[in-house]
Structure 1
Amino acid sequence: MAESETEETLLEFPCRFPIKAMGKAESGLESAVAEILSRHAPDFEAEHMSTRPSRGGKWIAVTVVIEARSKPQLDAIYGELTAHELVVWAL
């Protein structure tokens, strides 16, 4: 692993890494998250994605655990998620 990569993160790759995105319910958020993850995480499997509605039902949280390979991979995923119009926040 390159020295600059280890300086930027405390994670050791590869590792299991949870990704969560939230947006309005009934917006197609699950499909958008699945599409983004399938581009950046080749071993991503949509059946392992879980969703949870907010108490009032207005929002939905989508969570998936991927096998993260590198910090640049995670940066690309989060960059695309946060730029997507259906995603209100991602963590």
Structure 2
Amino acid sequence: MMASSPEQHGIPFPSIFPLKVMGANQDDFDGLVVAIIEKHASIVAQAGVTRRLSRGGRFVSLTVRILAESQKLNSGVELPGIKAASEALKRSLFR
């Protein structure tokens, strides 16, 4: 089987890739999300993090732009501990 090239996936690497994260509008949400993502990827400083509140203000949507260096990072395959981090985030949001 032939190895796939980045062009076969439609995304050239390295590339700036937006991650969307949604959760409860709590004081520590933004910092927790950024801390988890920074453990696994480089956040693009110029674009950084954008924040948008839901109509009622109960929820927040963050767009975090990272420098994706491979398809594996995008698919989460090489994110050690991402499941544990995700569970920690859920616990903090719905306490």
Name the TM-score, length of structure 1 as normaliser.
0.70
- More helix by proportion, 1 or 2? 1
Q: Indicate conservation of the 8 Å contact 1:22/1:61, yes or no.
A: yes
Question: Which secondary structure does the structure 1 equivalent of 2:61 belong to?
Answer: strand
Distance 1:87 1:5 in 2: 38
- Distance apart, 1:26 and its partner CA: 1.2
CA contact (8 A) 1:37 1:44 kept: no
CA distance in 2, matches of 1:52, 1:5: 35
Bigger RCO (CA 8 Å, 6+ sep): 1
Instruction: After TM superposition, give the deviation of residue 9 of structure 1 in Å.
Output: 3.4
Could you list the runs of 5+ residues in structure 1 that have no partner in the other structure?
none
Q: Deviations over 1:46-83 (max 9, x none)?
A: x8211110000010001111110012222139x45654
Tell me the residue number matched to 1:61: 61
2: CA distance between counterparts of 1:70 and 1:15? 9
Residue correspondences, number:
85
Q: TM-score, normalised by structure 2?
A: 0.67
**Which residues of 2 match residues 40-79 of structure 1 at below 5 A?**
40-45=40-45, 48-74=48-74, 75=76, 76=79, 79=82
* Structure 1 partner of 2:26: 26
Task: State the 1:7 CA deviation.
Answer: 9.3
Larger Rg: 2
Percent of paired sites with the same residue = 27
Partners of 2:93 and 2:36 in 1: how far apart?
Answer: 11
